[in-house]
Structure 1
Amino acid sequence: MALTDIITSLWAWKWLAIGLVAAYWVLWVAYARTLHPYAKYPGPFLASMSRFWIVIEIFRGRAHKTEAELHRKYGSIIRIAPNEVAISDPASIKEIYSINSGFTKTDFYTPWRASFARFPDHFTSTDEKLHGQRRKIVNNIYSMSNIVKSEPLINTCTELFMTRMGEFAERRQLVDLATWVQWYAFDVIGELYFSSMFGFMKQRSDVNDYIGSLDTLLPVLCAASVMPSYVRAPFLASGLLLRSVRKALKALGRIEEASATCVRERLQPKGKSDGAREDILGKLLDIHEHKGDQHNFNLTDVQTEVFTGLFAGSDTTAAALSSILYHLTANPDVYAKLKHEINEASAAGKLSYPRITYAEAIQLPYLVACCKEGMRMHPSVGLTLPRVVPSGGCQIAGQWFPGGLRVGVNAAVVHLDETIFGEDAKEYNPDRWLREDAVNMDRYMFQFGGGSRTCIGKNISLCEIHKLVPELLRSYDLELACAESGFRTMNHWFNKPLPLYVHIRKPEPSRSV
């Protein structure tokens, strides 16, 4: 065959391939826009035919705001991907996420799984039966009664946090509370899991770049999670050419190695003697030693538990604390009312010195209201929690959804629903939690997820929050450095607050207890 014939043949194949691809996309767009079961639901044009739209939103870090705008424009059901809708109807929380609802997690969660894990962790498991079996092994460790027993470990961190705040007060320096509460939350994880803080607050820095690693990792991992499964590997492989992706994958390896190191050090003779304190790692190793064969729970499973704590244990709590403290300082009347409640309780001997206990804190109704309202205004996770509709299909929000398609609810959207939280739902108002319908509102608080997949570390977070907030307000006066800037965040699954600067001062003698 002559060279010209070969070239002509190659050109013909090239144009045939281009034609086939073009035909596929024309047919796919026609189907997605007209015949697909989700074709009737409104949303961005690009979202109806490609997941590229939601990938863009992930990298922009504002998906919760975009979804809220789309719900205001189109209604309670919006299409955010060809096979996925977001639902803002509060009743859908129970329909989708309740125990035995039949809905399962989508493959969104699988990229977050530790590479070394034998079984999926509590966050990434998509098999509901397996998840229930594995969670049952360790569930008691994370009960509130067990976490409260570890309050002395949390108090150790609180003591150092308060000391550092005192140093800022003495020097009259601005303090970035968003950074410091994350360092605090990470050090609490160190104490609760390993009886030793990581050293963030002691060194006043991001130890071993753990937090920087998470910040690098999240947008890349979250973007991969919303892509079609067949695109993920090529995305990450091609991304290796990009410094940011290489850094993200290296960050994941660093966190995995940290979990292995923590377990390995505890197993050393010196580490074993240090294990006399009842920390979470000690309790996990105790399960492995005494019930490991019975539950198929070996050292790799212990490491998986530790990895989950390192990965998710600080960002969610820090985001909640930042929101609570921001909204308090941005609303002087609320701040003064809460400060008065704390001071009165202290004067009456209802709050211990030097550290307030969790049991005492939750007896302060306005404190509890302020904490709930802060978490309502800013849930720590700012994306929908996607689920697969059961195979037989299901009725949700008055609509029939075929099996196999995806649905989800975004806490950042449903928490602002006026039918549940009142006409002032978009405004910060802790007093709503003192109303008669507060019990009903509680049913729609979704910041920790719902049903059997509720965050396993929920009680750790709640204990930290309710102890630290009154302790900080009892000891210091806080004032926003720049109220006009508002509460700024970057949403890559964890909706992380950006720097939050405040002035911190010791109270005037006349105001002290």
Structure 2
Amino acid sequence: MPLLDSLIARGAEGDPAFLAGAAATVAAGCALCATLYRLWLHPLAKIPGPKYMAISDIFSQWHHFISLDMSPYAIELHRKYGPVVRIGPNRVIVAGSVAWLQVYGVRGSSGVGEFGKTQGFLYPTDHMALLGAPWEDHRRQRRQLNHAFSVAALHEQEPIITQYVNRLMEELAARATRGEAVDIVQWLNLCTFDVIGDLCFGESFQGLEGNTTFVDNTFRMLIGNSCIRFLNQYPLLKIPLMILLGTKETKVALEAGKANAGLGKVKAQARMAKGDYEDGRRDFATYMLRKGKDGERGLSDAEVGALSSILVLAGSETTATALSGFVYFLSRPENAEKRRILEDEIRAAFADDADINMTSTGHLEYLRVFLEETMRMYPPAATMTPRISPGAEVGGYWLPQGSLIHVYSNAAYRDPANFTDPDSFHPERWLKPAHPQHDARFDSDKKEVFKPFSFGARDCIGKNLAYAEMRVIASRLVYNFDFKLLPGQDDWMAKQPNTLLWLKEGFKVQPSLHKKAVAA
């Protein structure tokens, strides 16, 4: 075979052109074989989805971490392909209608059979805190922290929370008196971050006093971390990606993350050094530092620091997001009648602003459904951290061990199969039949799909605090102010990018003091 002999000879002689061509041919052949396997023979090949995504993870990961539009894209994918969609060679998105029970609700003894977390997804040491901890560590940490989020602890923490809500109302009232428009998103962020800072570290971030550095850095950090998660998978793209995104902007984002991490570490160490307060004050650290019956602490210093960092972000930004959505829907002109119903309920329930607290707001039914509908339309955690299949059937498809599963809450909440008129704001869909505003056309809604704080053994430990805080702040906003949305902001919610959280811009409202607040 002269041709074969010639090729072997050229290879043996080290012909550069020949070697380069041979390498390219082999690489192309391997890529073709991998493509054919992933499209036709892979265990996930029967799952519907865009074919180009089945070939390589880079497409879905670009949506996840760079263009930051996977959340709205997931709505399109589910509507086109169904509840289980393949978005990578070994990666699927699963609608909440399936995932809550079949993925999040599954747990065997000692975590065997659990759809576990992907360690290092959020940051390198995320396995030390609740969100990424292995099952046994998660169970131990959760047992220690449960006391910090009990009903009794909530009442102990209320005075801490109230002082910052008071300050927020004072700042908004001052600007309303002067006739100034306000960026309500920024003010809500400053308030909730100050609250959680005090609960975690014994001192606020002083955002309501004008120091916005920590809050500003948080959102820069989210962008930087998102970029890093992508580059960890595709390091060869670092240079072109830096050129595309801008080296300066990316560097600023990463430095912001480092600054916040450093400040959080210093604050956590200072709080741990204080131990218990002499005046009997109790915050999250009080419970994290508690010793067990054996006299040993249940959490290490490293775990306390890691948990504090997680609690700061999870316990502030998500609450501020829900409240921002609340004010946005409240102030939209087309919701004028719904706003009137809510205002009547809250202003009739209280003779004075001082009467509004965690307990007294618990019976406000229309407020409850207004908040629920806000979180359906604008879920604070629209993206869940991925889970890993232990080898199980999900939605009628076998997902081999190691398959990655993503869930986008808003995809289930915007699915016409789950909710009537899913893209419109209707608080009455959540009301019981006895309520005068109940609307029977929403009776067939699959409300069990709605899980704004996740589901199962790893659901959000702070959901009771979040609901209580939202009820109080929302009630006091409505009781004291009338809000007018300034023109040109109708697309505020629609244009937001999303990483794990919404990267929301501010929006401006014109607050005016209501007559009851003026009289007080």
- TM-score normalised to the size of structure 2? 0.85
CA 1:19/1:141 → structure 2, altered by over 3 Å: closer, same or farther?
A: same
Which residue of 2 is the match for residue 302 of structure 1?
A: 304
List per-residue Cα deviations over 1:1-36 (Å, max 9, x = no partner).
xxx999953333322322222122111111111111
Matched, 1:428 2:404: no
2:265 maps to which residue?
260
Separation of aligned partners in 1, 2:153 and 2:375: 23
User: Equivalent residues in 2 for 1:288-367 (5 A)?
Assistant: 293=296, 295=298, 297-330=299-332, 331-347=335-351, 353-354=353-354, 356-367=356-367
| Aligned position for 2:377 | 377
Query: Does residue 220 of structure 2 align to residue 216 of structure 1?
Result: yes
Matches within 5 A, 1:22-421: 22-58=28-64, 59-88=66-95, 90-100=97-107, 102-107=113-118, 109-113=119-123, 115=125, 120-125=128-133, 127-203=134-210, 205-206=211-212, 209-225=213-229, 231=233, 242-266=247-271, 276-287=280-291, 293=296, 295=298, 297-330=299-332, 331-347=335-351, 353-354=353-354, 356-391=356-391, 393-394=392-393, 396-421=394-419
Where does the alignment leave 5 or more consecutive residues of structure 1 unmatched? Answer: none
Does the CA-based 8 Å contact 1:157-1:187 persist in structure 2?
yes
Aligned-partner residue type, residue 283 of structure 2? D
- In the alignment, structure 1 residue 492 sits paired with structure 2 residue 499: yes
- Does the 8 A contact of 1:490 with 1:496 survive in 2? yes
Question: 1:345: how far off?
Answer: 0.7
Aligned AA (1:362): G
Determine the structure 2 residue equivalent to 1:17. 23
Distance in 2 of aligned mates of 1:478 and 1:460 = 26
What per-residue deviation string (whole Å, max 9, x for no partner) do you get for residues 88-114 of structure 1?
Answer: 26143111111516342342x514246
Residues 148 and 338 of structure 1: CA distance in aligned 2, closer, same or farther (over 3 Å) = same
Q: What is the CA RMSD across the aligned residues, in angstroms?
A: 3.1
Question: How far apart are residue 63 of structure 1 and its match?
Answer: 1.4
State the Cα distance separating 1:498 from its structure 2 match.
1.9
Residues 307-316 or 181-190, more deviating = 307-316
8 Å contact kept, 2:54–2:88? yes
Alpha-carbon distance in 1 for matches of 2:355, 2:209: 19
Q: Under a length normalisation based on structure 1, what TM-score does the superposition of the two structures give?
A: 0.86
Provide the rounded CA distance (Å) in 2 between the counterparts of 1:282 and 1:237: 46
**2:354 & 2:465 partners in 1: Cα distance?**
21
Matches of 2:444 and 2:79, distance apart in 1: 26
Match of 1:444 among 445, 449, 474: 449
Q: Is the 8 A contact 1:382 1:410 kept in 2?
A: yes
AA at the equivalent of 1:364: L
Q: Secondary structure at the match of 2:46?
A: coil
Deviation (angstroms), 1:372: 0.7
Shift of 1:416: 2.2
Specify the code of the residue in structure 2 equivalent to 1:105.
G
Moved more, 334-343 or 254-263: 254-263
Letter in 1 for 2:214: Y
State the Cα distance separating 1:237 from its structure 2 match: 9.6
Residue 443 of structure 1 aligns to a residue in which SS?
Answer: helix
Q: Is the alpha carbon distance of 1:302 and 1:438 closer, same or farther for their aligned partners in structure 2, counting shifts above 3 Å?
A: farther
State the percentage of identical aligned residues.
Answer: 23
Give the aligned residue type for 1:42. Answer: P
Gap runs ≥5 in structure 2: 1-9, 434-441
**1:380-402 C-alpha deviation (Å, 9 max, x unpaired):** 122254222223x22x2233333
Q: 1:283 to 1:240 in 2, by over 3 A?
A: farther
Q: 2:207 touches 2:215 (CA, 8 Å); kept in 1?
A: no
* CA deviations over 1:201-221 (Å, ceiling 9, x no partner): 111x41xx3233222222342
1:457 is aligned, of 446, 459, 462, to 462
Which residue identity is paired with 2:122? W
d(CA) in 2 for partners of 1:403 and 1:129? Answer: 20
Equivalent residue letter for 1:63:
M
Q: Show the counterpart of 2:5.
A: none
Residue 235 to residue 359, structure 1, CA distance change in 2 (3 Å): farther
Does the 8 Å contact 2:350/2:356 carry over to 1? no
Aligned length: 491
Give, in whole Å, the separation in 2 of the partners of 1:218 and 1:100.
31
Deviations 1:106-161 (A, max 9, x none): 42x5142464x7x5210122x22332123222222122431232111110000000
Letter in 2 for 1:218: L
Cα 1:247–1:24 shift into 2, 3 Å: farther
